[in-house]
Amino acid sequence: MTSYEEAETEETVTCLHMTFYHPCQEDKMMFRCLNFCKREQLRVDETAKFGRDSSICRYNLIDSRVSRIQFSLQFYRKLNSSEFCFEIKNMSKKTKLIVDRTELGYLNKTDLPWKCIICFGDYQILTEMQEGESMDYFETYLRLAQMPFLQERCLPSLQPVPETGIFPSLFLSQDESPKEMDENESY
Amino acid sequence: MTSYEEAETEETVTCLHMTFYHPCQEDKMMFRCLNFCKREQLRVDETAKFGRDSSICRYNLIDSRVSRIQFSLQFYRKLNSSEFCFEIKNMSKKTKLIVDRTELGYLNKTDLPWKCIICFGDYQILTEMQEGESMDYFETYLRLAQMPFLQERCLPSLQPVPETGIFPSLFLSQDESPKEMDENESY
């Protein structure tokens, strides 16, 4: 018997699938340091940080308008349940983080729904959780989208949102940037 | 004007006061790596980890029965509020973490009440939060208690708990260790 065969039945690992989109992704290549289409395994005690500062963030966004840490994710288990969950925290002082209909200010946090859209500035991230058994690790799997999930720059909306968490359009408020943005003005 | 004087009015920093107790603290000196009576400042994105593994935990407990990471604390701001809060997560697979009346299993988490008692095994920690303004840092201030906060080894109780979070006595369940413990048996 090899040591592999001796091992317990291989357990599945909870995986957070994250699909990224930015309207200027081809020109600005802000995602060039992300490893797309590759499972990355993290220990459950690790906080997955996304942002500009590569010395702190495992997931590095190459964009001067992104905060040093833009947001972070932690893995946990719900109280009185065997269910795993991800929690997201906005670590940016200057930019709101929107999780479906919930607007997070700096240091606010919320649970990630099973499937949802996260936005900040012009960034859109579709996340979907794939359940697993491991109590030691979780995984991320990143993809790049060619098309936006939302037609407009995402802003909190008072409109009802379908249960899938994918809402076709949102409205720009008066004080936000126009629909056609100068590239220098874009997030 | 010195640069100190030029600085903005010095802002206060939220501080978590933590007073530690273990019945064998004098013999086993499990707290010898903690810096008592000294404010320690952490960035808000840092997770304060307590446990046996000094390569991961800033707060190191020298005790072979303590888990590599026993528990962790994160600082955040409540949604739709300016209030700061600490959240505690049990990182031990083998030992429950008890926060006042709430029993946390592995990877479970809960908010720390303003003042509370945290227990695991024979460890007791009285915590109290001191509010501050800083959005960049939080602090910890550790002390050593000479007397326990709870008269018995802490276990979840169905008894009502006074609002102070300090409950005078709890009961040992049948399958837990006896009141008079052999030193080798103690946590």
Q: pLDDT (tens digit, 9 = 90+) per residue, B67-120?
A: 999 999 999 999 989 899 999 999 999 999 999 999 999 999 999 999 999 999
pLDDT in tens, A67-78: 999 999 999 999
pTM of the entire structure? 0.79
Chain A nearest CA to B107, separation (Å): 5
Query: What rounded mean pLDDT belongs to chain B?
Result: 84
What is the helix (H) or strand (E) element at residue A28, kind and residue range? helix A25-28
pLDDT value, residue B152: 64
Chain A nearest CA to B147, separation (Å): 31
Cβ-based interface (< 8 Å): residues of A facing B: 44-45, 47, 49, 56, 69, 72, 74-79, 84, 89, 91, 93, 102, 104-110, 135
Radius of gyration of the CA atoms of chain A, in A = 18
With contact defined as beta carbons under 8 Å apart, do B42 and B165 qualify? no
Size of interface A-B (CB pairs under 8 A): 58
Domains along chain B with CATH numbers: 11-153 (2.60.200.20)
Distances (CA, A) of A74 to A16, A86, A111, A130, A150: 11, 6, 9, 15, 25
With contact defined as beta carbons under 8 Å apart, do B124 and B75 qualify? no
Burial code of A87-112, b = ≥16 C-beta within 10 A, e = fewer? bbbbbbeebbbbbbbebbbbbbbbeb
Cβ-based interface (< 8 Å): residues of B facing A: 44-45, 47, 49, 56, 69, 72, 74-79, 84, 89, 91, 93, 102, 104-110, 135
What is the helix (H) or strand (E) element at residue B109, kind and residue range? strand B109-111
CB-based contact A77 B105, cutoff 8 Å: yes
Q: In what order do the strands lie in the sheet with B123-130?
A: B39-43, B137-144, B15-21, B123-130, B115-120, B97-99, B102-104
What is the helix (H) or strand (E) element at residue A72, kind and residue range? strand A71-77
Among residues A19, A17, A15, A18, which one has the least CA distance to residue A144?
Answer: A19
End-to-end CA distance of chain A: 56
Of B76, B109, B110, the CB nearest to A107: B76
> Along the 187 residues of chain A, how does pLDDT read in single tens digits?
444 444 567 899 999 999 999 999 999 999 999 999 999 999 999 999 999 999 999 999 999 999 999 999 999 999 999 899 999 999 999 999 999 999 999 999 999 999 999 999 999 999 999 999 999 999 999 999 999 998 765 554 434 444 444 444 333 333 333 333 333 334 5
Of B56, B69, B107, the CB nearest to A76: B107
Query: What rounded mean pLDDT belongs to chain A?
Result: 84
Q: What is the ipTM of this complex?
A: 0.78
User: Can you name the residues that pair with A118 across neighbouring β-strands?
Assistant: A99, A125
Tally: H helices and E strands in chain B: 2, 12
Name the percent of chain A in helix, strand, coil, to the closest 5.
5, 35, 60
Give the C-alpha separation, A121 to A22, whole Å.
9
What is the helix (H) or strand (E) element at residue A125, kind and residue range? strand A123-130
